[in-house]
Amino acid sequence: MKRVVLLFIIALGAKMLAAQSWQQTFTDPLLQSYISEALENNTDLRTAQLSLEQSAAMLKQARLSYLPAFSLAPSGTVSKARNEAANYTYELPLTMSWELSFGGKRHHQKEMALAELEKDSAQLKYAQIQLIAEVANAYYTLVMLDKQYAITQEGIRIQAENLRVLRAMKEVGQQNEAAVSQAEASYQGALTTLPMLEAQIRKAETALCLLLNRQPDTIARASWEEVKGIVIDTERAIPLEALASRPDVLAAEQHLRASFSNVKVARSEFYPTLSINGSAGWTNNGVTINPYQILLNAICSLTQPLFAQGRLKANLKVAQSQQEQAQIAFEKALLVAGAEVRDALADCRACSTREEARTKQLEAAQRAYENSRLTMQYANTSYLEVLIAQSAWLDAQLQQIADWLEGQQSRINLFKAVCGGIE
């Protein structure tokens, strides 16, 4: 199985990142505190932990199934005839039963329970990774929205000043009504974006509070200028077969192991079963000289299934079909894992390239805006050129913030794809 994984990843041709803990990846102090809180309080994780405890209990039961079962069933009766004294009888038996299967049923059930436990453990770790990514994405989204809100407010302030200047210029005949109306329309349109941004901020805070299992409330976060980005190295490579250690791939592999053991359990039903039953106890029933006597009883039986109304064959067929389904799911998990890694690496490279181009665009837009203002002051140029340059500069700032968030999200997706360690 590992050889198949290795061949698949080599064919993929992508580099893997060295696994690192989430504390090394997400270095912002506030974000780290939120991730720790989510890992401790999130309801989905608590549910997954309970599933893991259930699987551990089932494994313990499967291991103890090798031992005989003991039970104590004391009983007593009272009988009385007319004109006679009451007659008291009692029994205190200790019974034992032990079932041995010649098909290795107990062993295969234990192997299946162990595989289920390891599958639930891998699923719990994968759920932790997904939760970390969701918390980080919500946090950086809030930082982005705060910065967009501040840029929008500054843009509205500038547009209000521009509108005032245009109205003053119209009064002295330097601008016409069309220019004033265009500036006013732009100003009113900018005002409509503030309530939308406020609603998005509230929704993002609510989403993060749900991940933290809190009541919806305001979430503290760093400013865009002070927030610490995601630290993840996309150049340092590790052996490509490490993709097989992704928790979701491990969970699919353990599910395949469990289904394989289940097939063996279904086959073992065709083999005979040896049952040993015994009992020992005390009774006073029917004894007058020495009322306390010991009772011993032992029964041994061998059962070979001959005809079970097609139930055994049907169970085997179902188990085999489930094993094929698990095989398909495992192959799909490998394909999805490889695709996620490849896509995440491509997104990281694309975002890095776009960030460089966006920075140059922002610098050029700022120069254009400053030059247009100087030109209007010392040359004969239209104030609309200043407004156009100013609008382009504000849009470039908003796009830069959006690109920054996409860059952080691409790194979050890469962290999920390589499934960094949980400590």
Q: Concatenated DSSP letters for 170-233?
A: HHTTSS-HHHHHHHHHHHHHHHHHHHHHHHHHHHHHHHHHHHTT--S-------TTT---B---
Mean pLDDT value across residues 238-253: 76
Q: For residues 120 and 251, what is the distance between their CA atoms, to the nearest angstrom? A: 7
Share of the chain above pLDDT 70, in %: 86
pLDDT in tens, 156-201: 888 888 788 778 877 877 777 777 787 788 788 888 888 999 999 9
Predicted local distance difference test score (pLDDT) of residue 286? 53
Residues ≥6 apart with Cβ < 8 Å to 81: none
For the chain, the structural domain boundaries read: 2-68+103-272+311-418
Predicted local distance difference test score (pLDDT) of residue 16? 44
pLDDT in tens, 276-335: 877 777 777 654 444 556 666 777 777 778 777 788 889 899 999 999 999 999 989 888
Predicted local distance difference test score (pLDDT) of residue 203? 94
Label residue 5 by pLDDT band (50, 70, 90). Answer: very low
Between the ranges 14-28, 132-146, 264-278, 408-422, where is the mean pLDDT highest? 132-146
Q: Is 253 helix (H, G, I), strand (E, B) or coil?
A: helix
Label residue 7 by pLDDT band (50, 70, 90). Answer: very low
For the record, the structure tokens of 356 come out as 């460089």
Q: For residues 383 and 412, what is the distance between their CA atoms, to the nearest angstrom? A: 44
Q: For residues 262 and 357, what is the distance between their CA atoms, to the nearest angstrom? A: 57
Between the ranges 132-141, 181-190, 224-233, 391-400, where is the mean pLDDT highest? 132-141
Q: For residues 97 and 176, what is the distance between their CA atoms, to the nearest angstrom? A: 102
Mean pLDDT value across residues 127-151: 93
pLDDT higher than 80, residue 413: yes
Q: For residues 226 and 274, what is the distance between their CA atoms, to the nearest angstrom? A: 72
pLDDT higher than 90, residue 396: no
Label residue 6 by pLDDT band (50, 70, 90). Answer: very low
Q: Are the C-beta atoms of residues 230 and 415 closer than 8 Å to each other?
A: yes
What architecture does CATH give domain 2-68+103-272+311-418? Answer: Up-down Bundle (1.20)
pLDDT in tens, 327-354: 999 989 888 888 888 888 888 888 888 8
Q: For residues 23 and 391, what is the distance between their CA atoms, to the nearest angstrom? A: 40
Predicted local distance difference test score (pLDDT) of residue 144? 93
Mean pLDDT value across residues 68-88: 77
Predicted local distance difference test score (pLDDT) of residue 207? 93
pLDDT higher than 60, residue 154: yes
The overall average pLDDT reported for the chain is: 81
Predicted local distance difference test score (pLDDT) of residue 36? 93
pTM of the model: 0.80
